[in-house]
Amino acid sequence: MAEELKGTTTVGMVCSDGVVLATEQRATMGTLIAHKNTKKLFKIDSHIAMTTAGLVGDAQILTRYLSAEAELYRLKRDEEMSIEAAATLMANILSGRRYFPYWVQLIVGGHDNKGGHIFSLDAAGGSIPDDYVATGSGSPYIYGIMEDHYKKGMSMNEGTDLAIRALTAAMKRDAASGDGIVLAQITKKGYEELSEEDINKRKKKMGLN
């Protein structure tokens, strides 16, 4: 049953001091809302995270793979894996499964010694860096907001508000997305998830409630 759960909206963007990654929390099976608290944003290492869209079982397996590889890399080399290396590794895992592909869209993002980075990964193993990326059934609505409001060099605070605004718009129009927002900021200080209270305060300040 878990492997049939679909319906997602995720977004990631590069800011002047790091990256913002955010998702909503609904999982659907056709017209059924199967879960209202589905995890789609995963901390991979202290400086890397990944968002998932697609089959839940595939996403969970891939998250475990990348987390284990990042930890092994740190243990063997006594240094953290770069964001590009993490994205490339995941792309290689995806491309190696030709006949029964992992049915996922992923965003790998984080902050390393070269700054903040976001990579979009498809089920065939394509890996593309970008300033911002959206995945899942609600992504067209996200892109509409991002095309109009995203600016290179925007601050983490501005990027956080933009991600919340974009996800809120997507949840209003995409029936497969909803039930709250999970958002993480990744800077040179590491990974930090915002509390539900903080997200709601930001929504209220922007008049989104």
Per the annotation, the verdict on 38 as an active-site residue is: no
Domain boundaries, the chain: 9-205
Q: Give me the pLDDT at residue 46, please.
A: 95
* Stretch among 32-36, 41-45, 61-65, 189-193 having the lowest mean pLDDT: 32-36
Q: Which two tokens stand for residue 123?
A: 């089920």
Band (pLDDT 50/70/90 cuts) for residue 203 is very high
* Burial (0-12, 13-18, 19+ Cβ within 10 Å), 102: buried
Band (pLDDT 50/70/90 cuts) for residue 6 is low
The proportion of the chain whose per-residue pLDDT surpasses 70, expressed as a percent, equals 97
Per the model's pLDDT, the better-predicted residue between 139 and 209 turns out to be: 139
The pTM (predicted TM-score) of the whole model is: 0.92
Following DSSP, what letter does each residue of 67-115 receive, concatenated? Answer: HHHHHHHHHHHSSPPPHHHHHHHHHHHHHT--SS---EEEEEEEEETTE
The CATH number of domain 9-205 is 3.60.20.10: yes
